[in-house]
Amino acid sequence: YIYQLLNVMCVLYYNIIKGILMLKQSISVKDQFGVKHAIQATVDKHFANTQSSSNVKHITVDGEDIRPSFEMFFQSTLSGKIFKII
């Protein structure tokens, strides 16, 4: 029981720290059809200085968190759309 409790506490602590180090930012993306979308991105603390897409951890579109591919495209598993930061 104590091991399970410690495990849960570690997971909660990790998520709290992760939340502190990650920030929300409004950005614009285009889907593969050229349609522009204003969305929320979760970025690391360096994004404010760099404005680099490499500092974007994931974008949130229609409630779905989408992580980037190696090419920094974000493909939705719900809609099938592919987004690129502009």
Is 90 exceeded by the pLDDT of residue 81?
yes
Note the pLDDT of residue 66.
94
pLDDT digits (tens, 9 = 90+) for 11-65: 666 655 555 567 888 999 999 999 999 999 989 888 888 888 888 989 999 999 9
Q: Kindly report the pTM of this predicted structure.
A: 0.66
Note the pLDDT of residue 33.
94
Note the pLDDT of residue 36.
95
Report the alpha-carbon distance of residue 1 to residue 34 in Å, rounded: 53
